[in-house]
A and B are shown apart, each in its own frame.
Chain A
Amino acid sequence: MFAEFLQYLFSGVTIGSTYALVGLGFAIIYNASHVINFAQGEFVMIGGMGTVFLLNVGVPLPLAIVCAVVLAVLAGLALEKFAVEPSKQADVVTLIIITIGASIFLRGLVQVFWGKEFFALPPFSGNDPIHLGGATILPQSLWVLGVTLVIVGTLAWFFKYTLLGKAILATACNADAAKLMGINTQFILFFSFGLSALLGAVAGIIIAPITLTSYDIGIMLGLKGFVAAVLGGLGSAVGAIVGGLLLGIIEAMAAGYISSDYKDAVPFVIILLILFFLPSGLFGVRGTERV
């Protein structure tokens, strides 16, 4: 009974870590531009698929991972430079549709060059399950948790102690005031796309040995990351992490105790409930808008 619960909890936290990283990516771009970047899921996909592809052509795993992350970051930076930046004057709705166009484009490219099949990435360190309190954990789950912790820790340090991190926070808080203080908000937006592509790609790589990867995996993972960000209060970094973990746990519990057919519906039921009862999310700012 308890072992069962523990098992669901482990798998929930594992998948939830991925949602948290993707959600963080949404939050970072949203803060810099108020754009909801629907191409976020494609960074996740490029991370996973890129690693698989490089591994298949003989590149050793650590190098393949680094190259795949770099590839995703380049895609993110290109998206900002060539699609978002030239349309600065456009409506937010138009920008959102542009990111949707970009996601279809990226998905199409990957499908043309790397194929439509599902691929598995070998686990980073063996496949012998670890037994704990009657439940089992895959070593890969520990990788997922460890990498997520390191990334979240690094980000916390980055935002708190570096000039660039502080500039990003200032831009999120008030872009005009930040500009007056001499912050290059244009560069902040550029950097934000790179950073969130990095987060997405890492999430895609560490989860690929558990869930498999394919050219269209980014749609659902991206949407769930988005739900995680909204759950925590869109734009809040802590919120995105807590939201992601919570989402993963609830989803795993629902799949285990209620119905695995409706597992994928869980995040979307949650988002409706949140919007009805707690529209600014768990950690969102309850501000009033000035006219």
Chain B
Amino acid sequence: MLEKLTTPRTGGLLVLAVIIVLLPLFLPNNYYYDVAIKIGINAIVVVGLNLLVGYAGQISLGHGGFFGLGAYTSGVLTVYYGWSSILALLAGVVLVGVISFVIARPILRLSGHYLAMATLGLGIIISIIITNEDWLTGGPDGMYVEPFTLFGWELYGEQTWYWVIGVLLVISVWLALNIIDSPAGRALRAVHGSEVAAQVVGVDTTGYKVLLFVVSAVFASLMGSLFAHYSGFISPVQAGFFHSIELVTMVVLGGMASTFGAVIGAVILTLLPQLLSGFEDFEMVIFGLILMLTLIFMPKGLVPTLSALFKDRRGRKP
């Protein structure tokens, strides 16, 4: 029992849950809750994206587009067409799932960074459409979205949303860890190690990569929908290229192929702009510098580098 708790997997999940439960004690007002919720939303998207980057060895430069597509599907369907929140959310999931499958199926047969280019193109097309079709989306000015309602119960206020996102974060980390340890996950790690070797032993490498891509895109769409209802206002920024870059950066900074690294990456990169906002004009300079320096000195990302350091220290003891 104790042994099981100290494995990184169960132990990590437990630590995450404890942190989420205890965190409100240190959150003095709704502004802090708001930051915590945004961290949680980013973390869930990044945990999904990390499956693709860390285990299929592919990068997506268009996850902001999927996030935005989810957000706007929810917004448009609930506000203009009177759909229920949950149905609109599912519609977003189906839409993003289909689009990501159609894109990924032919492109992931190729090796190399073609998926990065395709998702880059797709993400920018999505954001341009959202910006231009202002009769539906409000264009660059954005649009207002009503709160999430489920069976007549309205989800409202930072403190309620905190718990919803917190529970979802634990579930998604658990899900990601399980996907990694499932036969599919093992096959995927083989793909990352040597794709050809994996193919030779009969792994449908393309199929698994497509699966991961679709799963990660759906994570982004779901969070986009929830974000739209939570914040009550969405704009093309959410679907923009910079948002996509931010998400990939969170994965790489935290540590590729490390689910908890993904969470840490999301925490740091969501907090950083808040901390840097005092620097005003220098915000971008410092942000870029931190990003570069971290990766130059820790190319594997924060969590894998630090945990290797930790293990090394422990190993050296007599």
Contact = CB atoms under 8 A, between A and B. Distances in A.
Given A93-B252, A112-B282, A275-B107, A106 B288 contact: yes
B106 A276 contact: yes
Contacts of A82: 296
A108 B282 contact: yes
Interface stretch (B123-131, B156-164, B177-185, B220-228): B123-131
Contact of A109 (B120, B125, B256, B285): B285
B120 A104 contact: no
Contacts of A107: 284, 288
Interface stretch (B4-12, B26-34, B81-89, B109-117): B109-117
A134 B300 CA distance: 59
Interface string B260-292: 000000000000000000000111111111111
Given A102-B288, A105-B292, A108-B284, 15 more contacts: A87-B295, A97-B253, A97-B291, A100-B249, A101-B288, A103-B288, A104-B284, A104-B288, A226-B120, A261-B132, A262-B132, A268-B120, A275-B117, A291-B194, A291-B196
Contacts of A89: 299
Contacts of A108: 282-288
A37 B7 CA distance: 39
B138 to A, nearest CB: 15
A98 B295 contact: yes
B296 A87 contact: yes
A271 interface: yes
A129 to B, nearest CB: 30
A287 to B, nearest CB: 11
Nearest to A112: B281
Q: Which of B121, B196, B241 has the most CB of A within 10 A?
A: B121
B37 interface: no
A289 B295 CA distance: 29
B128 A96 contact: no
A276 B288 CA distance: 34
Contacts of A101: 249, 288-292, 295
Given A105-B284, A265-B129, A291-B196, A97 B249 contact: yes
Contacts of B196: 291
A100 B120 contact: no
A276 B107 contact: yes
12 contacts: A82-B296, A93-B252, A101-B249, A101-B295, A102-B292, A103-B288, A108-B282, A108-B285, A111-B284, A268-B120, A268-B121, A291-B196
A96 B299 contact: no
B44 interface: no
B16 interface: no
Interface in B179-235: 194, 196
Contacts of B252: 93-94, 97
Nearest to B248: A97
9 tightest Cβ-Cβ pairs between the two chains A and B = A105-B288, A108-B284, A101-B291, A90-B299, A104-B288, A108-B285, A268-B121, A101-B292, A271-B121
Interface residues of A, number: 45
Given A106-B288, A108-B285, A262-B128, A90 B295 contact: yes
Interface of B: 53, 59, 103, 106-107, 110-111, 113-114, 116-118, 120-122, 124-125, 128-129, 132, 194, 196, 241, 245, 248-249, 252-253, 256, 281-292, 295-296, 299-301
Given A101-B288, A104-B288, A105-B292, A93 B132 contact: no
What is the interface of chain A mostly: helix, strand, loop, or mixed?
helix
A223 interface: yes
Contacts of B248: 97
Contact of B299 (A91, A264, A272): A91
A65 interface: no
Given A105-B284, A279-B114, A87 B299 contact: yes
Contacts of A269: 121, 125
Nearest to B283: A108
B287 A100 contact: no
Contacts of A111: 281, 284
Contacts of B111: 289
B88 to A, nearest CB: 25
Nearest to A267: B121
A93 B128 contact: no
A83 interface: yes
A104 B117 contact: no
B125 A265 contact: yes
A121 B122 CA distance: 33
Contacts of A238: none
A288 to B, nearest CB: 10
A87 B295 CA distance: 8
A207 interface: no
